[in-house]
Homo-oligomer: A and B are copies of this chain.
Amino acid sequence: MVDPSKIPKTGLTGRTIIYDEDGKPCRSCNTLLDFQLATGKIPKNASKVSTETFTEVIFDLIPGSRTYRKVPPPTKEVIGRSSWTLLHAIGAKYPEAPTQIQQDEMSRFMALFMRVYPMDDSSTFNEIQKAFKETRPNVSSYKGFNSWLCNFHNKVNERLKKEKFDTTFWEDRWANGWE
């Protein structure tokens, strides 16, 4: 249980943090920073940029629920972001020296991931499939897998006209955190 005296009322942004009925900070209603503050993950590397007035808006509760709100289904952008978060988090925990079984499992997982991934927009999906086929997963080690995954992610970025990520910073972003 969280000590009630330690629950922050005001976020890093100076705004009141919105909590659900059961005392959980509401992810949709707060900025990511305030949500992280409220859940005890206070971010570093943050700069103040402006002060303003706002009106808070939240989704209605689902009938009969104390905590679940009428959040719309995830957009393809949200599904994409969620997937990269999961894949890089998997990479961050991949063993330095995986067993043959772990290597086989990861190869098969990635291939099936590409089969079941939900995608309406077939032209975008085709681009991602091409990027995947150009560069088969390296599952030989932590370093090999993550280097492959960053390369795959950047190939997708390139095909979707997004900025490439400087892979020098991969471990800061996905595994170890920033200084």
Name A residues whose Cβ lies closer than 8 Å to a Cβ of B: 11-16, 18, 22, 27-33, 36, 39, 41, 43-60, 62, 64-68, 70-75, 77-79, 81-83, 85-86, 88-90, 92-93, 105-106, 108-109, 112-113, 115-120, 162-163, 165-166, 169, 172-178
In the bound complex, how far is the Cα of B67 from the Cα of A162, in angstroms? 9
Chain B residue with the shortest CB-CB distance to A46: B57
The interface residues of chain B lying within 8 Å CB-to-CB of A45 are 59-60, 70
Contact B28 A28 (CB under 8 A): no
Which 6 interchain pairs have the tightest Cβ spacing? A15-B54, A93-B118, A82-B82, A45-B70, A82-B85, A109-B112
How many copies the complex holds: the figure is: 2
Contact A29 B28 (CB under 8 A): no
Beyond A70-B178, A90-B118, whether A49 also contacts B57 by CB under 8 A is yes
The interface residues of chain B lying within 8 Å CB-to-CB of A31 are 28-31, 57
A-B contact pairs, 22 of them (CB 8 A): A14-B54, A28-B31, A28-B33, A30-B31, A39-B77, A41-B72, A43-B59, A43-B71, A44-B72, A49-B55, A53-B53, A62-B166, A70-B173, A71-B173, A73-B174, A73-B175, A73-B176, A74-B88, A78-B85, A90-B116, A108-B112, A109-B112
